[in-house]
Chains A and B, each alone.
Chain A
Amino acid sequence: MPVLRWIRRNLIVIAGLLTLAYMILPNIVVMVFSFNKPNGRFNYAWQQFSLDAWKDPCGVADLCGSLSLSLQIAFWATLGATALGTMIAFALVRYRFRARGAINSLIFLPMAMPEVVMAASLLTLFLNMGAELGFWTVLIAHIMFCLSFVVTAVKARVMSMDPRLEEAARDLYAGPVQTFVRVTLPIAAPGIAAGALLAFALSFDDFIITNFNAGSTVTFPMFVWGSAQRGTPVQINVIGTAMFVIAVLMVLVGQLIASRRKSNARN
């Protein structure tokens, strides 16, 4: 049977593509259902095509407010975690110091801990200190759990850097600051960017830790969670789809620029 032989030869490709389909399917459902006109409070069954939600994405109370809050938190959390994380990564790769093992474990542990444990313990701290739950407690929590991921991403990049480049800069009479800004930082930039992107994605999409420490503040994931109980507006799907499309476009444009630059460099 030639068909069977073909299947056997391409088994891995077929299995891989099936997995890919499994991963993409929910995104397609989200996209299709952003054009739905549901018959009730929940948007789970297809009724009829409609552009209503796309024409009025902020038509649901509190939805766009929660979205902008999430974007703000993600922005500041990314800034904080990237700054602190990059400093730690440089210290770990470039210097010798005491208590290195302890510091490494302190950075590894938040990544090896179920989110709910960190969420619950941080809430105990805030309750004990009498802190008011809201924007600031969420921001503190986000910087905390993004930090380790930034350190890991930047560390990988700094480790592969050639220290001789910086030595060369120093030999050519660049001061320490100039060396750092003109040589070290540009080379480390891809690692820092990767860390920052990761931090942004983690913070923006975080639910469990935020849910514990937000008090009555509502971020976008918390809005979606609440709507799963009260009724899911179609606008949620519109925003999910828009984010997906924007992100994919950004990646594609980035790829295009990178390959254009590469072919320019070759000529």
Chain B
Amino acid sequence: MSVTEAPPAPTPEEPRELTLRKPSTRKRLVPYWLLLPGILWLLVFFALPLVYQASTSVQTGSLEQGFEVTWHFQTYVDALREYYPQFIRSLLYAGTATILCLLLGYPLAYLIAFKAGRWRNLVLVLVIAPFFTSFLIRTLAWKTILADGGAVVDVLNTLHVLDVTSWLGWTESNRVLATPMAVVCGLTYNFLPFMILPLYTSLERIDGRLHEAAGDLYATPATTFRKVTFPLSMPGVVSGTLLTFIPASGDYVNAELLGSTDTKMVGSVIQSQFLRVLDYPTAAALSFILMAIVLLVVTFYIRRSGTEDLV
């Protein structure tokens, strides 16, 4: 991928510190000047807003009379009690979409890394190319693809797939649009590139000779994959699943465009509380709970997969 090859790591004959002169005060300040504008930006427009939001979530009042901090933690309890179905749904949809992305994305990443040969760049371009059309337009295209009486629905109907999915509650009678399946399908579609690219990057780094060695030691292709390829691609699996799960859990575009009122995710609730109902404390509390859940899941997941150096 890189244009110029990375040179071999320097091998100093003596400890590097000895060769460095003690820097002057002006020089020592250089990193701080470099960091200052960007870090300030993040502090003011990322960290500070979270503080404001935390304070908003424990305020009471109304739009007309203004809001006041009253440490009203009941908002959190009420918000959870009223909107827990949306929370569970969000996690369920995002989780399903993440697993589907992994199952669909892995073969393609593997194909690009090992099987594509001289087609590799073309396939990579095709993976990235959809990005260039606004994702909202592409999500709307799924309305056409999954339309009632369309080709996809007809085929699924003839194969009696929809009978099974309806029985499972994923679709309704012979519709796909406005059902959980449509939303998960849209989420999977929208976040697939975020899974494929990290997977590809970590697969591409694997030394092909390891496969040969495993074969020489009488491993079947399946065993080679299980014992060599997959473990070595773990960094890609971890960052791919995170890059899929995190945005999917807060997404409301797919749920709103492809779903119905029964498939609303927590993002939709936050959006409508904030922009339409104008109940700022509830919206802030909901958003905080979502953030806490996602950070918990991410931390736990990174710990479990033992790739803490990812961050």
Mark A residues whose CB is within 8 Å of B: 12-13, 15-20, 22-27, 29-30, 33, 44-45, 84-85, 87-88, 90-91, 94-97, 103-118, 120-125, 127-128, 140-141, 143-144, 147-148, 151, 157, 160, 162-164, 187, 190, 201, 204-205, 207-208, 211-212, 220-221, 224-225, 228, 232, 236-237, 240-241, 243-244, 246-248, 251-252, 255, 258
The verdict on B219 contacting chain A, using a C-beta distance below 8 Å, is no
Decide if A26 touches B42 in the complex (CB within 8 Å).
no
B307 nearest CB across to chain A (Å): 14
Write the residues of chain B forming the contact surface with A, with a CB cutoff of 8 angstroms: 2-4, 6-7, 10, 30-32, 34-35, 37-39, 41-43, 45-50, 52-53, 56, 104-105, 107-112, 115, 121, 123, 125-145, 147, 189, 192-193, 242, 246-247, 249-253, 257, 267, 270-271, 274-275, 280, 283-284, 287-288, 290-291, 294-295, 298, 311
Alpha-carbon gap, A117 to B191, bound state (A)? 18
Tell whether A20 pairs with B250 under 8 Å between CB atoms, given A26-B142, A144-B46, A147-B41.
no
Closest to B32 in A: A97
Identity of the chain A residue whose Cβ is nearest the Cβ of B136 in the assembled complex: A224
Bound Cα distance A113, B290 (Å): 9
19 pairs across A/B with beta carbons < 8 Å?
Answer: A16-B110, A22-B192, A24-B126, A44-B147, A110-B46, A113-B246, A114-B290, A121-B52, A121-B53, A141-B45, A147-B42, A163-B10, A201-B131, A201-B132, A211-B271, A221-B134, A244-B132, A248-B125, A248-B132
In contact, B250 and A95 (Cβ under 8 angstroms): no
A125 x B134 contact (CB < 8 A): no
Tell me whether B10 and A162 are in contact (CB under 8 A). yes
Give the dominant DSSP class at A's interface: helix
Chain A nearest CB: distance from B8 CB in Å?
9
Of listed A23, A84, A91, residue having the most chain B CB within 10 A: A23
Q: Which residues of A contact B280 (CB under 8 A)?
A: 124, 127
CB-CB < 8 A to B271: which residues of A?
116, 208, 211-212
